[in-house]
Structure 1
Amino acid sequence: MKIDELHQVFLNYPRVCTDTRKIKPGDLFFALKGDNFNGNEYADQALEKGAAYAIIDEEKHTGKQKILVENVLKTLQNLGTFHRRSSKAKVIGLTGSNGKTTTKELINSVLSKKYRTIATSGNLNNHIGVPLTLLSIKEDTEIAIVEMGANHQKEIEFLCSIAEPDFGYITNFGKAHLEGFGGVEGVIKGKSELYDFLIANEKGVFMNADDPIQKEKLKDYINKYGFSTSDTKYYQIRLVEANPFVVISVEDTIMGSQLIGEYNFTNCCAAVIMGKYFNVHLDKIKAGLEEYVPSNNRSQIIEKNGLKIVLDAYNANPTSMYAAIQNFTKIEGGTKVLFLGDMFELGESAHEEHQKIADLAKELDFDNVFLIGQNFYEVKSGFKKMKSFDDLKNHLTKYSLPNSTFLIKGSRGMALERILELI
């Protein structure tokens, strides 16, 4: 079936699913394959659960209500691009080492004050998530905010070929996925593929003009819209405070937020500059920032059993870990306790980067520090070290932490939010 014909089917059944456990009547089931599964084998199950059609790529599974294509994944990606091209919506591409999802949610909160918007759900930001996001564009959608993740070079370039963004923004360049990118220079090159696409296609670029990497990359490009705390050639935004919540000043208007830490300042700035570009009234921009509430274990402050907990356990890399620890020193609270979990995907830099974090924690002289995970277990620190979460669990049953303020930070695989169940 040609892609334009499949698109007509999609318009009649505009809901896509790739997991038979989540099928709803009328869905289009795309039989994707993975290392340990073959979606073709679940096509009948999807239809039994009410799927309108199953898109498959193995002839032996053909039958009624099944659409045979050459490659299901490629078809999903092509359908996403075709649908995006058939829409009048402007597409904003977003990538970076840290803060992608928070920035995406802030931008959506601001722009939705004036426009009909859609945005990436959660962090569905890969070669499957991006086309799924594009397919969530409705007939009346005016702006789509598409998050793009990557851990290797050329991945952002590929995602741009699917999403064809009209605008784009890179949150930052940090020490994330060093193993896949081959070091910090690889991170810069890989993330910059978004700006490379926009420049090559003469599209709009949003930028942090205080970031020297972005400033150098875009110095000769005209179609750019930047913010800065100091360079008057760009839109001026000032950080008022972050104690603990970020407060900013825009055109003498004070805007609060429910985000903690100075590291969230530029995330707020990105939402402001896009709001200004798309002519959202300043009062609406303010409302969009102030109404956004972080979730999914990202930069949340929780009160439990007399304890104040800074929960930032969704993910971690050396850049975000350093920022979180530095910010924690500025948060008021009695006994300060760190729970730090391993940072993944650092390759040969793993030991060095974990040692740097341990050294930072020692230098800042917190009351208690717990290091959890194999990488942290191997550093020199003088802190309490546990190879696994179970070891921490056993230790905490014997440990009293009254009137304390916690920082919980680690990579997703560590799932350190489980600490909340222990206190």
Structure 2
Amino acid sequence: MISPASIDAMLTAERALFAQRNPNSAALAAKAANHWHRGVPFHWMLDWGTPFPLFAERAEGAELWDVDGHRFDDFCLGDTGSMFGHSPAPVADAIARQASRGLTYMLPTDDAVVVADELAKRFKLPFWQVTSSASEANRAVIRWCRGITGRDQILIFNGCYHGAVDDVFVDLRDGVPMLRRSLVGQVYDVREHTRVIEFNDLAALEAALAPGDVACLLMEPAMTNVGMVLPDDGYLEAARELCTRHGTLLVFDETHTISTGYGGHTGTYGPIPDLFVLGKPVAGGVPCAVYGFSADVAERMEHVRAQGETGHSGIGTTLSANALALAAMRACLTQVMTPAAYAHMLPLAETLAQKVKAVIAANGLDWHVTHIGSRGEFICSDKAARNGTEARAAMQGPLEHALHLFLINRGVLIAPFHNMTLVSPATRPEQVDRLAEVLDECLQTLIG
């Protein structure tokens, strides 16, 4: 029902409208291009599909303002980094208080005690460490798993995302493991040490683990980067049993799926992994991540340490667990990421999912809406994907680009990578209504 000509026409019109509406961003983009490579401090800032970068001026709660004075209803929320709202007051206050007392000491603070107790209580794993990003945490977890098992292989899922970790940049293309083409400057073939299978394929999982040489299965409980792919009933429990049977450590990366509920996907649905990674939102947007592990894993870590020598292990950096991050994390965990916050987020996200479904149906489109917890996505396909290959096949690049640009020009931000939305504790019902209304306007325009 949506023709390529209609998509092209919308892209042309919306690019022109964006340029007209954003002269201040255009001027800043021209200046930034003098010395920032590709005109931005980091390349992801170009992924919104706008003719030039949109420069932000400030954000608060679930709203963002650009340098041209436009206000946005923000359902991207820093691609999860601000999942609990921009600058929550307890986190902002903690940052300001700690900033006057020192930013980093290479020593623990009393915040560390509270943070560890809160993490252990909420996520059911007794021991924790802090890093500066989820990428760093995943890299550390892979090294520990290889070190304590004596195995070199890791197992991942096609289409997975675990940050900037070289080991996971492997996809299946027509059933064949291939290096992800976006991996820059890799000098050895990571497929020598990384095995990749499809999500929700229990037989493939059992076959991959059967040789007994896999150190860890690194996974999101529900895939979120290739589009949202939810686990089949019983799949995670089967994965837990198979990992235990074959001596493989199970790692849940909950950096995105923390949106599922108060204890993340693990605490909401189970099972309990051997190791657990959480980044982005855990300190309210301050760069920080944590990884937790069982008592058995901790004991095996100490055995590895005893066999080695003192000195730097290659895990962690100078700014890991700095005082500012710990203060922000304490405030976020105890005052922001609360049961009350989820009690607001989850039903409002359900309302958003239902409204988007109604808009899609009203426009005669056979599209699918997937959501879990406060995270949702509408897919330009008639069914939910069960694995990475199906999720990629459902992607409609130019169409999604047109949708995103139309929404941006009318003051609505969703994640630029695909049609994903997040509902925060600060999101209001009228913002949900507005997203649905603007999406309806967009689809009516495309369909004609």
* TM-score, structure 2 normalization: 0.28
Q: Identify the structure with bigger relative contact order (alpha carbons < 8 Å, sequence gap 6+).
A: 2
**Per residue, is there more helix in 1 or in 2?**
2
Q: Which has the higher strand share?
A: 1
Using the size of structure 1 for normalisation, the TM-score is 0.29
